[in-house]
Amino acid sequence: MAGMKIALLQLNPTIGDFDANVAAIAAAARKAAKAGAELCIAPEIALSGYPPHDMMLTSGFVARNEAARDKLVKLSGELRTGLLFGLVLGSPIKPGKPLSNAAVLCDNGKIVAVKRKALLPTYDVFDERRYFEPDPTPCIAEFRGVKIGLLICEDIWTDASLLGEVEYASDPAVECSRKGAQLLVNLTASPWGVDKHWLREKLVAATARRTGLTTLLVAQVGANDDLIFDGGSVVCDGKGKTVMRMPLFKEDMHIFDTAVSSKVLPWLADSVQDQIDALTLGIADYFRKTGHRKALIGLSGGIDSALTACLAARALGPANVHGITMPTRYSSEGSVEDSRKLAGALGIGFEVVNIDAGFETLRGVCGKPGGLAEENLQARLRGIVLMTRANARGELLLATGNRSELAVGYSTLYGDMCGALEVIGDLPKTRVYELARRFAEIPPDTHTKAPSAELRPNQTDQDSLPPYDVLDRVLAAYIDERLDIAEIVKRGIEPDLAARVARMVEIAEFKRRQAPIVLRVSGHAFGAGRRMPVAKKT
């Protein structure tokens, strides 16, 4: 195969913003063309951004894709550089679903090839068969003397040795090689979870070895709602050796020369830093893409709100983050001071709003309920203060709950669950401490004191919950591995404890349905990837 300079455009599209997305592709392509690129490749469904969900079913959506496509086809003529990009098109297969997850290759102002995705995922957060009709036809595009096998995302997720059980009987990459492909290109928008970039690279390498063909994967970066995309575009040669990597969690353009060896960018094996970078990107993109700038956080003096504040300050800049601490008669002086110290160290806005008088008034209005209802009343009053302040100032409230609390319902609906975004809602409590240790701004006492909601005298979380290290072990087995209680007990967990935690998870489903959007960094996050009924026998 003759040498070719191919530009990988690792881009961060905004869903539905066709003009801006096309402009971003065009700007990167112009830069690449000036550097000598013969072909520029953008990610899966790059024209509308991924995933557009039911926007795809609205009238005019396909037409907007086609109009955006035509602009890029014209651009390929102006630049005299080939462009390959993902988009949504109508499906020609009848009967069937109305749409295709497609890719278009154009050159010199003309469309050279159209590829439609063969393998459509319907697991975890994916529901592509809701919209798309699969097309198993291999697509080999003749481009300037090179036969390129075109693949889209899931089309390479076929290696049982890496994935375990595989849902598909076909292997589109092998079918392309059998049809004479000399090079494989995969356009992807693959949501990130811990170590997902390493798995993706292994899949590319396995595809390259299986076919004997150099394989390029061009990935979307950025965050759209709960999903975070890391980029991490990669190239492996026909022996499966990685010959190019692109950065994680940032936009980039890199030219790969098929005839020249290049230095491989190292990825650090640091899952804690990866999660910090992912959550930072998740916050930043949520605010940018919704048109907001400023965040409000309720600071309790605890580790969860401290970590959330650190991430928000990193994502938005300290000047755009404001913290409020809201003590009552049950709040310790240390919690208020720890909040003050944190805010000072971060350089974020800070104020103390004592809500004890308001709590006493509401307590009387509500008939002095006592017990848990009275504890929750304090949390709900804090929610009222935070939501009202956020409304008045045009800020977005960030919720501060962690995954362990969301799992077992250790949170107050319309109280500490208020907010537009649950930043650390996919981090187990034990993981929260790991990330928090990377931030020197968090006061030492915040790391060492017993976690407490401070809603009654001398309260700690462990009055109601098992120790977090034990709880997180049970939750990982029950939620992530989907083990039943008998299997969990075999791992040394007391039967009563395993059953109690499982029941807490199940009866808290109604709360999670009303939780804010949770930034997803694990393989089994709450939300679209875990769909459980609320009304059921537990």
What confidence tens digit (pLDDT) does each residue in 291-326 have?
A: 999 999 999 999 999 999 999 999 999 999 999 999
| pTM (2 d.p.) | 0.95
117 is an active site residue: yes
The pLDDT assigned to 531 comes to 84
More confident residue, 261 or 157: 157
Write the CATH number for 280.
Answer: 3.40.50.620
Q: Which of 235, 238, 256 is nearest to 177 (CA)?
A: 238
pLDDT band at 175 (very low <50, low <70, confident <90, very high): very high
The pLDDT assigned to 538 comes to 77
The pLDDT assigned to 467 comes to 93
Specify the DSSP element, H or E, that contains 124.
Answer: none
366 is an active site residue: no
- Strands 234-236 and 396-399 come out as unpaired
In the set 44, 154, 375, 454, the catalytic residue is 44
- Strands 99-107 and 82-90 come out as antiparallel
Q: Are residues 313 and 395 in the same domain?
A: yes
pLDDT band at 331 (very low <50, low <70, confident <90, very high): confident
Does 283 map to a domain? yes
pLDDT in tens, 375-389: 999 999 999 999 999
In the set 117, 202, 289, 294, the catalytic residue is 117
Does 228 map to a domain? yes
Does 461 map to a domain? no
Instruction: In whole angstroms, give the CA distance from residue 64 to residue 47.
Output: 9
Q: Are residues 144 and 98 in the same domain?
A: yes
Q: Are residues 323 and 336 in the same domain?
A: yes
The pLDDT assigned to 415 comes to 95
Q: Are residues 392 and 424 in the same domain?
A: yes
The pLDDT assigned to 252 comes to 98
Percent of the chain with pLDDT over 70: 100
Does 87 map to a domain? yes
Q: Are residues 386 and 492 in the same domain?
A: no
pLDDT band at 458 (very low <50, low <70, confident <90, very high): confident
In this predicted structure, the answer to whether residue 455 has a pLDDT above a threshold of 90 is no
pLDDT in tens, 387-446: 999 999 999 999 999 999 999 999 999 999 999 999 999 999 999 999 999 999 999 999
* DSSP string computed for 160-175: HHHHSS---S--HHHH
Instruction: In whole angstroms, give the CA distance from residue 58 to residue 48.
Output: 13
Q: Are residues 206 and 244 in the same domain?
A: yes
* Pair of tokens at residue 243: 């010959």
Q: Which of 17, 34, 37, 52 is nearest to 84 (CA)?
A: 37
Mean pLDDT (whole number) for 342-348: 98
Q: Is-contact 89 56, C-beta < 8 A?
A: no
Q: Are residues 90 and 131 in the same domain?
A: yes
Does 50 map to a domain? yes
Does 123 map to a domain? yes
Sheet holding 242-245, edge to edge: 140-143, 146-152, 183-188, 215-219, 234-236, 242-245
Q: Are residues 154 and 300 in the same domain?
A: no
DSSP alpha helix (H) spans, 44-152: 61-79
Least confident of 261-265, 270-274, 503-507: 261-265
Does 527 map to a domain? no
The pLDDT assigned to 201 comes to 98
Does 267 map to a domain? no
Q: Are residues 512 and 499 in the same domain?
A: no
* DSSP string computed for 422-489: ETTTTS-HHHHHHHHTT-TTS-HHHHHSPP---SSTT--GGGTS--HHHHHHHHIIIIIS---HHHHH
Q: Are residues 291 and 234 in the same domain?
A: no
The pLDDT assigned to 1 comes to 66
Write the CATH number for 32.
Answer: 3.60.110.10
Mean pLDDT (whole number) for 63-68: 98
Q: Domain span at residue 472?
A: 466-506
Instruction: In whole angstroms, give the CA distance from residue 408 to residue 475.
Output: 9
Q: Are residues 211 and 358 in the same domain?
A: no
Q: 495-513 as b/e, with b when 16 or more CB fall inside 10 Å?
A: eebbebbbebbbebbebbe
In this predicted structure, the answer to whether residue 79 has a pLDDT above a threshold of 80 is yes
The pLDDT assigned to 460 comes to 80
44 is an active site residue: yes
In this predicted structure, the answer to whether residue 244 has a pLDDT above a threshold of 80 is yes
The pLDDT assigned to 525 comes to 85
Last residue within a domain, chosen from 217, 236, 259: 259
pLDDT in tens, 180-229: 999 999 999 999 999 999 999 999 999 999 999 999 999 999 999 999 99
Q: Are residues 180 and 235 in the same domain?
A: yes
In the set 40, 153, 176, 418, the catalytic residue is 153
Domains of the chain: total? 3
